[in-house]
Amino acid sequence: MNLAKRLDNLLPQTQCRECGYQGCLPYAQALAEGRAEINLCAPGGEAVMLDIAGLLGRAPVRPVKTQEKALAWIDETVCIGCTACIRACPVDAIMGASKQMHTVIRNECTGCRLCVAPCPVDCIHMQPVEADFLPLARADAHGCEPRKAAAEYARVRFNRHEARRARNLQEKKARLTECEAAVKAKVRDGAAALHTATAPFNPADLIAQAMARAQAQQAQRAVSANRAAYQAQQLEEAKERAAYRRAQRDLQYGTADEKAAALVFLQQYKAGQEAKQTKRGAT
């Protein structure tokens, strides 16, 4: 086992980035190469610092920062379901879906705090917990001390998370490549079809196309004229019905003059309707 791997085994695997590196393994690699101080692991505190110092043969120093054990908690009444925290969690300890309430899986949370900053509504809070090591879940390892069991469990969760991310990215690239190939093929087929459809100029075809357009325009004008006549007829019938209703109203509720005028209109209306019926019967 190389030095970087041995150093990585001493770290808590919370992937919190408090050390200034993108995770526990990058920090271990920097330590192995002499590019990092031994006292940067905040969740590991003094215990991890002493282990690193012993492995590297360096003098112990005070930790730059010590991080208290705390678990993320989401205020579900404020959560808007943006999934920012889900994307930030390095161990998939948050459940939820887009525009749906999110919640933290308590036993899986490593207390890394990476989900707090991305939340646009500040609904994630860190709640201190009485625990020596996080996550609360432990790896099934007989005779393994709690600290190493917790770290190993967190490492497995992180590795699965990273593998899933890589797989999703690969699948996305494959879909994009497939779509790009389909678009190129469509363009290529269209160009080939256009080339195949190109034929020598034929005056007869041009005359036939012009005649077809003229006939279509004539038919359109006829349809438009018929439509205009139909609309005018509908309008006149609507006016007639309105006048009939108005006359009925005036006959019942109007003044003496309005009643007299309404009576005359209704008599004329009745005579007109009878004449129409007689005409339709004759035809």
Residue 83 confidence (pLDDT): 95
* Average pLDDT of the segment spanning 15-24: 96
Question: Residue 197 — pLDDT band, cuts 50, 70, 90?
Answer: low
How far apart CA 106 and CA 101 sit, in angstroms, is 16
Residue 223 confidence (pLDDT): 63
Residue 195 confidence (pLDDT): 63
- pLDDT score of 194 more than 80: no
- pLDDT score of 54 more than 90: yes
- pLDDT score of 92 more than 90: yes
| Distance from the first to the final alpha carbon of the chain | 108
What is the homologous superfamily of the domain 3-56 according to CATH?
Electron transport complex subunit B, putative Fe-S cluster (1.10.15.40)
Residue 68 confidence (pLDDT): 93
- Return left, alpha or beta for 72; rule: phi > 0 is left, psi -120 to 50 is alpha, else beta: beta
Class of domain 70-169: alpha beta
How far apart CA 55 and CA 52 sit, in angstroms, is 5
- pLDDT score of 162 more than 90: yes
Question: Residue 11 — pLDDT band, cuts 50, 70, 90?
Answer: very high
Domain ranges within the chain, ordered by starting residue: 3-56, 70-169, 204-282
Q: Which has more confidence, 224 or 122?
A: 122
Contact 16, 67 (CB under 8 A): yes
* Average pLDDT of the segment spanning 265-275: 88
* Percent of residues, the chain, with pLDDT higher than 70: 92
Treating both helix axes as pointing N-terminal to C-terminal, what angle do 203-253 and 256-282 enclose, rounded to 10 degrees? 140
HEC sequence for 121-133: CCCEEEEECCCCC
Residue 204 confidence (pLDDT): 78
Residue 252 confidence (pLDDT): 86
DSSP H or E stretch at residue 53: helix 45-56
